[in-house]
Amino acid sequence: MNKTSYDFIVVGAGSSGCAVASRLSENGRFTVALLESGPKDSNPWIHLPLGYGKTMWDERVNWRFKTEPEPEMGGRQIYWPRGRVLGGSSSINGLIAIRGQREDYDRWRDLDCAGWGWNDVFPYFLKLETNSEFTGSQHHGQWGPVSVSSIPRKHELIEAVIEAAGRLGVPRTADFNGARQEGVGYYQLTTRNGLRVSAAKAYLKPARGRQNLAVLTGAHASRVLLQGRRATGVEFRHDGTDRRLTARLGVVLSAGALQSPQLLMLSGIGPAEELKRHGIAVIVDRAHVGENLQDHLQIRLIYKCAKPITTNDELNSVFGQIKIGAQWLLARAGPLAIGINQGGLFTRVLRHSKTPDIQFHIATLSADMAGAKPHPYSGFTLSVCQLRPESRGRITLSSSDPTAAPRIQANYLSTEGDRRCVVAAIAFARRLAGTAPLSNYVAEEMLPGAGAVTDDALLQFARDHGATIFHPSGTCRMGADKAAVVDSRLRVRGIEALWVADCSIMPTLVSGNTNLPAIMIGEKAADMIQADAADTGPISGRVQSTATG
């Protein structure tokens, strides 16, 4: 990267940022620099679907954040892994392809986020996707950069879950992204031929030859450069040296729900008192930067399986490990090609809910947490989360040092509604485990255990064992009101030529996994940014395209 000036600078090569940078550079009109704090995605565990058990703890590709002590979670600090590598969290996530419910986006529209209703965002979900399983379906794309595949082989345990759920009134579905989300079945995954399809693989690999796109890894953004109230570039640290790049048309922050608000605050855009406390000059007093933090809290019920058919059994034996390796090498199949969670379930447990309010991730494996060593017994996990939490947390600065981690306060279970939902979700999971034929596979409930029988005991179990399911959002909320951080075109209010495009702009958390919605946000943002820049100056000079470390 020899040039120091580009039309656009995109900060963060995650799910949204890769889409933004690729689309902005696609027609050759604009020069684009994409900055990523982490390394290239060369770690082989990134590309094997089951490999996120390894990357979940690997500081080379993972920020390994922790929350502040959580008041409603026994004062525990909850581990929050986030991707620090090309592809961001799409390179280390559980690969599950879920869009959320159409009602989620219509709710955004009704919250004065014009252009973000389901009918507005659905074309972008189609645009980003290639789905060979549902060829010809009106619900799926066929020509997009992100490959979405179905799990090819049925598993005895997942089939038992599906049949048991049916007896509880939850219908079998082949497509959680179809006409309706409610149901039980197998997840679709962001994979192709047994390999992960991260945002980097989907968007940056095809763009590798573009002369107008420069990708720089190991580049940790320090702040947005401002002239008055206009973004003019980015300061970043690379190989121990502070460097600057100039942006002729603007800067796009796609650093995620934790670090996009952190970067705004480091740049003087945020709550005045918070900035002054860290000696940062206030450019725009924007009190809600970092507020509105939302996440899905997962509660993992663990069962000892009555039959040796789980992934634990394979991973805990040399023969099983050889079998898993052979399945992948010979057929790109088996656990290495799928990951941990095969089955999903969306249903309602609260009386007032008109659409599913809880989601299950059903794993044919059990461990203390993802990435930990499997339990020494045959085990499986019913992980359940509340889809639309009421609790709101915040991101604040721990220091004016841009390399310091932000302070994260999730405020899990801080409302009565959330506490009521989590107890109902655990109770439903127990009903599911106790319903035939799944009950025939349960040798023992390991967690929460037979001693937890009252609602208070179940709530205490959630407090003691609940953890993130890795979906932080909302901290640069989009809206038309004065408290919103960005407007409906994702422009930072009060600053020209500065956009935010990632899950931080979500006014409310979507009902499901956030990778596809994050990519959708990147796709839509790129269109809006290009439209805003349509009449701004001539095509810039060309820049050599490289991915450098």
- Tell me 525's DSSP state: H
Question: What's the CA gap between 354 and 360, in Å, rounded?
Answer: 18
Q: Helix (H, G, I), strand (E, B), or coil: what is residue 417?
A: helix
Whether the link from the prior residue into 308 is cis, omega within 30° of 0, is no
Question: Chain centroid to CA 414: how far?
Answer: 22
Question: What's the CA gap between 172 and 178, in Å, rounded?
Answer: 13
Burial 159-174 (b: 16+ CB within 10 A, else e): ebbbebbeeeebeebe
For 235, the enclosing helix (H) or strand (E) is: strand 230-238
What are the DSSP E strand ranges found in 254-296?
A: 269-270, 284-285, 291-293
β-partners of residue 305 are: 442
Are the CB atoms for 4 and 244 separated by under 8 Å?
A: yes
Burial class (CB in 10 A: 0-12, 13-18, 19+), 197: buried
Q: Is 471 a known active-site residue? A: yes
The 3-state secondary structure of 112-154, one letter per residue: CCCCCCHHHHHHHHHHHEEECCCCCCCCCCECCCEEEEECCCC
Whether the link from the prior residue into 145 is cis, omega within 30° of 0, is no
Question: What's the CA gap between 147 and 194, in Å, rounded?
Answer: 11
Are the CB atoms for 150 and 133 separated by under 8 Å?
A: yes
Helices (H), 71-206: 102-110, 118-128, 156-167, 199
Whether the link from the prior residue into 448 is cis, omega within 30° of 0, is yes
Helices (H), 198-270: 199, 256-266
Q: Which of 155, 296, 465, 471 is catalytic?
A: 471
- Spell out the residues 6+ positions from residue 38 whose beta carbon is closer than 8 angstroms to its own: 60, 61, 83, 84, 85, 86, 217, 218
Catalytic residues, by residue number, are 471
